[in-house]
């Protein structure tokens, strides 16, 4: 059985480093599970999740030309498809300003008091806001430190 991208294999953890774990695969090949591929949540210390000698199921995520094999434990887990999110207010196309689909005879309020959240920010506006906040803080910091050092040619006495 050759090692192909996408295949799931059983392996044995042979070594642990601060950046991942080495896993011995069938036929004697060894691959690396990067620390980011160990679990679905953030892994601060890989030793909390794996020990040398553990048997693990891994999925081959890449095979380099030089023979290095990239593995993932979290992608090897069979996870059910995410269920579609239920919408308490019915189908959005039907619930805008009209009657809801819950057989109620009263018209729906088009402005829901539950939806007072700000619209989602896109990446560019987040970066712009961060940059502005950062520049404001830096300017404030410079003003405070220069006045304490006697900057800008301030003379004493």
What pLDDT, on the 0 to 100 scale, is given for residue 77?
A: 85
Domains defined for the chain, CATH in brackets? 8-76 (2.40.50.140)
Q: Coil, helix or strand for 23?
A: strand
Cβ atoms < 10 Å from Cβ of 152: 8
Is residue 30 within 8 A of residue 20, CB to CB? The reply is: no
Report how far apart the first and last C-alpha atoms of the chain are (Å, whole number).
86
E-assigned strand segments in 2-156: 8-17, 20-24, 30-34, 55-63, 69-72
Mean pLDDT of 15-25: 93
pLDDT, greater one: 43 or 109: 43
Q: Is the model's pTM score more than 0.85?
A: no
Q: Give the pairing type, strands 8-17 and 69-72.
A: unpaired
> Which tens digits make up the pLDDT trace of 37-85?
999 899 899 999 999 999 999 999 999 989 899 999 999 887 665 555 5
Helices (H), 38-122: 92-95
What pLDDT, on the 0 to 100 scale, is given for residue 118?
A: 60
Lowest mean pLDDT, pick from 9-13, 17-21, 151-155: 151-155
């Amino acid at each position: 059985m050759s090692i192909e991208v996408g295949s799931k294999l059983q392996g044995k953890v042979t070594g642990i480093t601060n950046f991942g774990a080495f896993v011995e695969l069938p036929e004697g090949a060894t691959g690396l599970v990067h620390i980011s591929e160990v679990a679905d949540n953030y892994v601060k210390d890989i030793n909390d999740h794996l020990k040398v000698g553990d048997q693990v199921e891994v999925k081959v995520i890449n095979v380099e030309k030089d023979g290095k094999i990239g593995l993932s434990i979290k992608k090897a887990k069979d996870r059910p498809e995410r269920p579609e999110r239920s919408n308490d207010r019915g189908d959005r196309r039907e619930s805008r300003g009209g009657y809801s689909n819950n057989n109620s005879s009263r018209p729906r309020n088009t402005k829901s008091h539950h939806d007072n959240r700000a619209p989602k920010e896109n990446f560019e506006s987040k970066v712009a806001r961060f940059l502005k906040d950062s520049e404001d803080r830096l300017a404030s910091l410079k003003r405070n430190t220069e006045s304490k050092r006697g900057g800008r040619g301030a003379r004493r006495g």
